[in-house]
């Protein structure tokens, strides 16, 4: 029986994507692991690999098609002995016209194992259902651990999962209104000249996630001014010594290191909200917001406390460059407990950032500016001062703990040599 290939979820937040390019054509043979298409997600352009062997019998979605929902059939794969005549008239083939069609009913959810989705090919699922094999008991040998036909054929039949196929799916809660309805807004501006800008996948995801975050995460804010003169002097000295290696440290590199070390000094704040519990992480995985055309990425610098300033600088430049080209893989922008958003280079004095769940905090960094300050000896002096605001999830971090974290960040930046100890 022909196998429908479905639009995959290639990132944790992907709900739909653009089928940018087919790398195979009808009649081509494919094997497990072969790259068949390039798909633009809400975050990046990624490769779609085959998980079963067979022949491409029919391409249902033309390349360049936007807004293809996850789990929508995009092609049909034929097994040995099958031909295009076996495909017949499928609902997917009829839903392929360019004009928008009503959304099809969502595909049944994949089985769950320890709370995580089990990735298996459609053929593997069908064989497992026929043989009464529990997919959660199998280890996949396909790309990224996906369960494929060979894995199921080698398995012994057993009790099938106790999921009643006839049970109605849980109703999906309607999205919370985030403002006036579209038709109301259009009527309000009917007599004004305007241009409509369509939302791409990234902008839709940013809108949904940040609306949810601002509505559901109990934010509170802690503010401190940080003197940068010691960092600027130390940075200048290091850059002279690193010039021969082609490394040039930025103030942001010091901020990343200061935050990573502070998370080790205040380990209770190195945590994420996990629904019904808090996870306290051991490593300092720090996300850094990178502005790109049409949105932003937050690539994660893992084990940042263990890396040198030069290593952090090199890694950050690489991640930022590939973020702007939308070439980051999901594992490079998923995770972390803490984020940094620096708008100082745009001349912004201070601002409040929105937490990116499940992170427990985000540091908003403003521009450094010369200001009069009162020294410890009571004398007034001029110093380069940077305003920072720590946005904190009160479910994870209480006021005193958040204050300790921000104080540790300040101490690291005002005594940069300590960060290298």
Same domain, yes or no, for 76 and 141?
A: yes
Considering the chain, what is the average pLDDT of its residues?
Answer: 83
Same domain, yes or no, for 103 and 24?
A: yes
Report if residue 100 sits inside a domain.
yes
Same domain, yes or no, for 229 and 328?
A: yes
Same domain, yes or no, for 142 and 237?
A: no
Report if residue 407 sits inside a domain.
yes
Same domain, yes or no, for 117 and 258?
A: no
Report if residue 406 sits inside a domain.
yes
Three-state SS letters, the chain: CCEEEECCCCCCCCCEEEEEEECCCCCCEECCCCEEEEEECCCCEEEEECCCCEEEEEECCCCCEEEEECCCEEEEEECCCCCHHHCCCCHHHHCCCCCCCCCCCCCCCCCEECCEECCECHHHHHHHHHHCCCHHHCCCCCHHHCECHHHHHHCCCCCCCCCCCCCCCCCCCCCCCCCCCHHHHHHHCCCCCCCCCCCCHHHHHHHHHHHHHHHHCCEEEEEEEEECHHHHHHHHHHHHHHHHHCCCCCHHHHHHHHHHHHHHHCHHHCEEECCCCEEECCCCCEEECEEECCEEECCEECCHHHCCHHHHHHHHHHHHHHHHCCCCCHHHHCCCCEEEEECHHHCCCCCCCCCCCCECEEEEEEEEEEEEEECCCCCEEEEEEEEEEEEEECCCCCHHHHHHHHHHHHHHHHCHHHHCC
Domain that holds residue 149: 3-154
Same domain, yes or no, for 145 and 287?
A: no
Decide if pLDDT at 158 tops 90.
Answer: no
Same domain, yes or no, for 12 and 146?
A: yes
Report if residue 378 sits inside a domain.
yes
pLDDT digits (tens, 9 = 90+) for 194-205: 999 888 777 887
pLDDT over 70 percentage in the chain: 82
Same domain, yes or no, for 261 and 386?
A: yes
pLDDT band at 160 (very low <50, low <70, confident <90, very high): very low
pLDDT band at 88 (very low <50, low <70, confident <90, very high): low
pLDDT band at 48 (very low <50, low <70, confident <90, very high): confident
Report if residue 201 sits inside a domain.
no
Residue-level pLDDT at 94: 43
Same domain, yes or no, for 263 and 410?
A: yes
pLDDT digits (tens, 9 = 90+) for 379-413: 999 999 999 999 999 999 999 999 999 999 999 99
Q: Is 331 a catalytic residue?
A: no
pLDDT band at 139 (very low <50, low <70, confident <90, very high): confident
46 or 304, higher pLDDT:
304
338 or 182, higher pLDDT:
338
Residue-level pLDDT at 293: 85
pLDDT band at 104 (very low <50, low <70, confident <90, very high): very low
Mean pLDDT within 59-84: 85
Residue-level pLDDT at 143: 57
Same domain, yes or no, for 141 and 231?
A: no
Q: What is the CATH number of the domain that holds 220?
A: 3.30.559.10
Report if residue 80 sits inside a domain.
yes
Same domain, yes or no, for 235 and 141?
A: no
pLDDT digits (tens, 9 = 90+) for 277-331: 999 999 999 999 999 888 888 999 999 999 999 999 999 999 999 999 888 888 8
pLDDT digits (tens, 9 = 90+) for 172-226: 444 444 578 888 888 899 999 999 988 877 788 788 888 889 999 999 999 999 9
Same domain, yes or no, for 250 and 356?
A: yes
What total number of domains does the chain contain? 2
Q: Among the three residues 139, 154, 169, which one is the final residue of a domain in this structure?
A: 154
Residue-level pLDDT at 96: 43
Mean pLDDT within 121-135: 75
Report if residue 368 sits inside a domain.
yes
Residue-level pLDDT at 150: 76
Report if residue 180 sits inside a domain.
no
Q: What is the CATH number of the domain that holds 43?
A: 2.40.50.100
- Is the pTM higher than 0.75? The answer reads no
């Amino acid at each position: 029986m022909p196998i429908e290939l479905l639009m995959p979820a290639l990132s944790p937040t992907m709900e739909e994507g653009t089928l940018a390019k087919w790398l195979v054509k009808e009649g081509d043979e494919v094997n497990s692991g072969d790259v068949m298409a390039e798909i633009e997600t809400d975050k990046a352009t990624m490769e779609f690999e085959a998980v079963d062997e067979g022949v491409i019998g029919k391409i249902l979605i033309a390349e360049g098609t936007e807004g293809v929902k996850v789990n929508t059939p995009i092609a049909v794969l034929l097994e040995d002995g099958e031909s295009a005549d076996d495909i017949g008239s499928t609902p997917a083939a009829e839903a392929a016209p360019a004009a928008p069609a009503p959304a099809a009913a969502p595909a049944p959810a994949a089985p769950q194992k320890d709370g995580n989705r089990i990735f298996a090919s459609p053929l593997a699922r069908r064989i497992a259902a026929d043989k009464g094999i529990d997919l959660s008991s199998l280890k996949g040998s396909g790309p990224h651990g996906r369960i494929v036909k060979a894995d199921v054929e080698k398995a012994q039949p057993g009790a099938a999962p106790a999921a009643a196929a006839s049970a109605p799916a849980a109703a999906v809660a309607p999205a919370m209104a985030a403002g006036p309805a579209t038709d109301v807004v259009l009527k309000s501006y009917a007599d004004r000249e305007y241009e409509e800008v369509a939302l791409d996948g990234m902008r839709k995801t940013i809108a949904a996630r940040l609306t949810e975050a601002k509505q559901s995460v109990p934010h509170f804010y802690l503010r401190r001014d940080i003197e940068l003169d010691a960092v600027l002097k130390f940075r200048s000295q290091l850059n002279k010594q690193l010039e021969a290696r082609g490394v040039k440290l930025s103030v942001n590199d010091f901020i990343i290191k200061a935050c990573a070390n502070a998370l080790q000094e205040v380990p209770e704040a190195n945590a994420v909200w996990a629904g019904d519990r808090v996870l306290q992480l051991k490593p300092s995985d720090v996300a850094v917001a990178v502005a790109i055309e049409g949105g932003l990425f937050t690539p994660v610098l893992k084990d940042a406390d263990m890396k040198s300033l030069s290593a952090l600088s090199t890694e950050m430049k690489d991640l930022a460059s590939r973020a702007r080209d939308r070439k980051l893989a999901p594992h490079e922008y998923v995770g972390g407990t803490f984020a940094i958003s620096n708008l100082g280079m745009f001349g912004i004095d201070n601002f409040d950032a929105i937490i990116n769940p499940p992170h427990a905090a985000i540091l908003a960094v403003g521009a450094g500016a010369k200001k009069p300050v009162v020294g410890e000896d009571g004398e007034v002096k001029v110093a380069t001062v940077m305003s920072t605001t720590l946005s904190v999830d009160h479910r994870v971090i209480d006021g005193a703990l958040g204050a300790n974290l921000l104080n540790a960040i300040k101490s690291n930046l005002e005594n940069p040599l300590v960060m290298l100890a």
